[in-house]
Chain A
């Protein structure tokens, strides 16, 4: 028992937490709670202790484990049917999202589920997605048993309302990869067949094999033309239909000219054609598209409220029995029981118990709100403390919170922004190309008709802005990757361009500018002695109120026995310690007159000993590290703050943000959304940084919505980008860098234009030959790719990202 010899604090063998509150020693190992010990025993019984050999204390704490009866709703056939992906006579297949998954031990245990429950035939983990696909025999076990088993071993799957909505995950399309594969295959083979032309082997080879090589390359480029290049033609036609010129129009024209000329030359035997260039260009451009499409598909950017809501809730039947019911089936008038840390799924009236509702998620208020019996509690709040009983007054879909999602912003599909750099460039490109082509035609027609045709088609071919279209995806794709390395995850590459245009930055306060988990507190009044602090601490330990807990953690000293402890909900607490009457609570509870309005807005807790008021604790928000630097570097843009909280922090915010900043307090989610709309009407490009559901509307409405989160696998509202809280201090750098990438795109435009000028000069003179095209086209494509990639890397290094 070497663990017992160590100094007082031990870490749990199962979860690695330090055993402060409780220490259980069993099987010669230390555990922090009974939950952890039970998991260990369960694993040991089944010979699964290999779990502990891959990583040190791989488990997740089982302290907050709740009753398994809450999974009763999984017995419901309707719920089951929505969760299961596949079912036949013997087996069921389904996939769970398991947020707790974090190491190789987790993979091992989850893939050995069949040893714990014989009804499970197979479980396969996708670690990056934190998913486990389970196949089980539904005659031997049930869905509920499988979920309960997962919950027992500390891997409770996240089953939310969204899963049961019947919205089955859309399958990721592989068509681009297929197209890329086909194009690559054809490109390689056609190029091989074109080699005799490159090496100028001369008449002999051409005469003997020319026809065979030509037709074979033609055969090979057919799939490229009809399948791989399809996307460019479709997009160009769509552009014409909408009377818009996009970058794909000049590309499609170029590709079409290239293909037609090649077919003509091969069929008539007048030349070898340019099919190697044609297939090569399609291949390179598809690589660009692939790069552009790359995103973080393990992160979820499109969540709505249903992803937050639980699937089931405990309903109290008339005879007092508890029953687990799917949230969807919740009816007006149902009595529900909400336990500690559970979410209230529908607007309801409090019937019994003292509710402390943490609305931080919905409204952004930092402190839990006290509710008394008879008050309406809106959906989305989280109960802190004892379990309460409520009566539902509105169905889930009619609730206050869900109304936000009825706003038009959420129903409107995101329209494609046509005004991207590449599309603007494409417009000018095709105009210039057509003028040059017409010029060449006009010049050659009086002199040499065949030369005129050649020059005309050559211009169209060479002016194909393929290199131009490559630069944007590669610059954006690399930027996306660099941001990702710095824990800033963009939804797609288009967001980079949006970020570059930002001139207004709007912040949410609670949880975004402030650290949600920490609050500073100061004490003012008569200084407390060590002994007095001990008395206060002793009383505080009996209260579960979050403010009590915070002061408790702040003070030091051993706790003493308390007699006559009383807690008046929403007011304060009192107790007698060693003959001293200790009272803590609000000003009115203690009996202090607060004249100044300012003080009532602050969160304060007064202290009195033996009826004498000594002073009070004031809580302050703790602002995120690096906030000052970020704000300083954002000086060029307009800054605003939208807070759901009251304005007691105004002075401190003003100091941080400067005079010009707009500060708005007591903002409801809808007001936040309207504020962003108002800014956009002034033609501002708005970046919204928020964290909770209450910001969801504003995030969606803004040009670029950034969700800040402490853990990227946690739920975050629908947004364009997810920023890990640890990288918050780099926010201004990210914005600055995306502006720089626009310059890089312009520079690579210049590089590709250079090639086009050289090519066009040759083309108008009628000097364009297959060998020149074979050299010029790949070189221009590859050099643009290289230029884009390297310069982004270089710029990132310089910017310190």
Chain B
């Protein structure tokens, strides 16, 4: 019998994890622009340019 309480507890915890992930995603603005990232990932990183562009990551 105890197993049911345990399982429900786990399932609710996992579900809350997803809820928090969703809220975080909304808050961090991931839904604000749903076009540009799709184009951006197709640009190739050229090796020619000397300075690396690591600082560009948010």
Contacts and interface: CB of A to CB of B under 8 A. Distances in A.
A122 B19 CA distance: 32
A127 interface: yes
A209 interface: yes
B39 A104 contact: yes
Contact of B19 (A177, A182, A212): A182
A121 B36 contact: no
A129 interface: yes
A108 interface: yes
Interface string B25-44: 01100011111100110111
A282 to B, nearest CB: 15
Interface in B1-58: 1, 4-5, 8, 11-12, 15-16, 18-19, 22-23, 26-27, 31-36, 39-40, 42-44, 46, 48-49, 51, 53, 55-56, 58
A212 B5 contact: yes
Contacts of B36: 107, 124-128
A111 interface: yes
A189 interface: yes
A189 to B, nearest CB: 6
Nearest to B4: A209
Nearest to A127: B36
B55 A122 contact: yes
Contacts of B40: 107, 111, 125
A208 B58 CA distance: 52
Contacts of B56: 114, 121-122
Interface string A171-198: 0101001100110010011001100000
B10 to A, nearest CB: 12
A50 interface: yes
A47 interface: yes
Given A47-B49, A107-B36, A122-B56, A181 B23 contact: yes
A801 interface: no
A643 B54 CA distance: 57
A384 to B, nearest CB: 37
Contact of A127 (B15, B35, B44): B35
B9 to A, nearest CB: 9
A209 B53 CA distance: 58
Contact of B49 (A111, A115, A178, A189): A115
Nearest to A188: B15
A580 interface: no
A177 B12 CA distance: 21
Contacts of A174: 26-27
A47 B48 contact: yes
A339 B27 CA distance: 46
Nearest to A209: B4
Contacts of B15: 185, 188-189
Contacts of B23: 178, 181
Interface string A98-116: 0000001001100100110
Contacts of B33: 126-129
Contacts of B39: 104, 107, 127
B29 to A, nearest CB: 9
A216 interface: yes
Contacts of B12: 189, 216, 220
Contacts of B18: 185
Contacts of B22: 181
A720 B53 CA distance: 43
A662 B11 CA distance: 69
Interface of A: 47, 50, 104, 107-108, 111, 114-115, 118, 121-122, 124-129, 172, 174, 177-178, 181-182, 185, 188-189, 192-193, 208-209, 212, 216, 220
Given A127-B33, A208-B1, 19 more contacts: A107-B36, A107-B40, A114-B56, A121-B56, A126-B33, A127-B39, A128-B34, A128-B35, A174-B26, A174-B27, A177-B26, A177-B31, A178-B23, A181-B23, A181-B26, A185-B15, A189-B11, A189-B15, A216-B8
Interface of B: 1, 4-5, 8, 11-12, 15-16, 18-19, 22-23, 26-27, 31-36, 39-40, 42-44, 46, 48-49, 51, 53, 55-56, 58
A-B CB proximity, top 4 nearest? A185-B19, A127-B36, A122-B56, A126-B33
6 contacts: A115-B49, A126-B32, A174-B26, A177-B26, A188-B15, A208-B1
